[in-house]
Amino acid sequence: MVQASGRRGRRPAAAAPAALPPSMRDRVPFLLYRAAEESHALANQMLAGMALTARQAGILTMVTELEPMTQKALGDALRIDRTTMVALLDDLEDKGYVARQRHPRDRRAFLVYPTDSGRAAKVAAVRILDEQQRRFLAPLTPAERGQLAALLGRLHQRPAPAP
């Protein structure tokens, strides 16, 4: 490969990320989406040391704090589709963190229970996620963090928009 400078074999420098048009960079839902993606990626990176994902940490938190739950209830609460939920639970079950049992009143459903190892993994994951939150929100002052949490809480609690 030959570059304009005449040097052979060198790769061009990585291009800077393309600037976003104002219609995107000034749109709050887009910024929320981007921030959520970055936060989720950091959480997954930090949880990788214990071979968990952010979604799996969420599942462990739900079944530990609200146990037992059906797979469907978990999927609905965490907005995880049925196929993905089964795969996540299979992995957690293989690790010994959860156990599934038939629902006593609905033979089509499974209840998900945490194991003792799962409870311990949840505690460790929450510690990591506390640090992840601290790192992710580091650019904000404590007052701004509180304000952001309050504003997002208000958005999250509003009724779903009409179709």
* Alpha carbons 84 and 36: distance in angstroms, whole number: 19
| 79 has pLDDT over 80 | yes
Computed over every residue of the chain, the mean pLDDT equals 88
Question: Can you give the pLDDT at residue 160?
Answer: 66
Residues whose CB is less than 8 angstroms from the CB of residue 100 and which lie 6 or more positions away in sequence, other chains included: 71, 89, 93, 110, 111, 112, 113
Of 16-20, 88-92, 95-99, 105-109, the one with minimum mean pLDDT is 16-20
The dihedral region occupied by 6, where left means phi > 0, alpha psi between -120 and 50, and beta the remainder, is left
67 vs 85, higher pLDDT: 85
The percent of residues in the chain predicted with pLDDT above 70, rounded, is 85
**What average pLDDT does range 58-69 have in this prediction?**
93
Domains of the chain, by residue range, sit at 42-115
| 78 has pLDDT over 80 | yes
Q: What angle do CA 67, 47, 89 make, to 5 degrees?
A: 40
* Alpha carbons 159 and 156: distance in angstroms, whole number: 8
* Alpha carbons 121 and 97: distance in angstroms, whole number: 7
The side-by-side arrangement of strands in the sheet containing 110-114 is 69-70, 110-114, 98-102
Question: Can you give the pLDDT at residue 25?
Answer: 80
| 61 has pLDDT over 90 | yes
Global pTM reads 0.80
CATH class of 42-115: mainly alpha
pLDDT band at 17 (very low <50, low <70, confident <90, very high): low
